Amino acid sequence: MDAERVAGTRDWLAWHEPYADAGSELSRRLAGVQRHITEWLDDRPGERLTVVSVCAGQGRDLIGVLAGGSDADRVRATLLEQNPGNVAAARHHHGAAGAVRARRDRDLDARTAGTGPEIDHPPVAHRRRFRGSGVRRSR
């Protein structure tokens, strides 16, 4: 699928700007998503987990949870996002969150990937958690 057709004309970097305002609707939504992720991790103490996030944006949901707790050492995450600027921002947020250690760098992979039915991602059949919120087929 043509990337411009899928992405439309929306500026996806600008879309993330309301996160800077803790009182914004987007920040409130993020807090709810992070609570859900935290609860999911808490329900699986000690397990080594793999998470694939499709249409990951800047990865603030998962990165924020992993940076704020002890779960980062047991979670391997792949963030898939079509917008290269958002992938770069996800990598920046990962580093700024203090998560840059040799082990953690290997356990979080933010990459540019397509968003259509031909999505380019690692095999996910063995994943216990496949986060696909915000994923939709564009035609």
- The answer to whether residue 55 is domain-embedded is yes
3 vs 20, 27, 110, 114, CA distance in Å?
27, 27, 18, 8
Beta bridge partners of 77: 51, 108
| pLDDT tens digits, 5-39 | 444 568 888 999 999 899 999 999 999 999 999 99
- Return the H-helix or E-strand segment holding 42: helix 25-42
- The answer to whether residue 139 is domain-embedded is no
- Decide if 98 contacts 67 (C-beta within 8 A): yes
Residue 127 exposure: Cα atoms within 13 Å on the Cβ side: 18
- Give the chain's domain count: 1
Give which of 133, 128, 127 is closest to 59, Cα–Cα. Answer: 133
86 or 121: whose pLDDT is higher? 86
- The answer to whether residue 35 is domain-embedded is yes
pTM: 0.72
CATH number, position 40? 3.40.50
- The answer to whether residue 25 is domain-embedded is yes
- The answer to whether residue 138 is domain-embedded is no
- The answer to whether residue 136 is domain-embedded is no
Query: Which range of residues forms the domain containing residue 85?
Result: 3-131
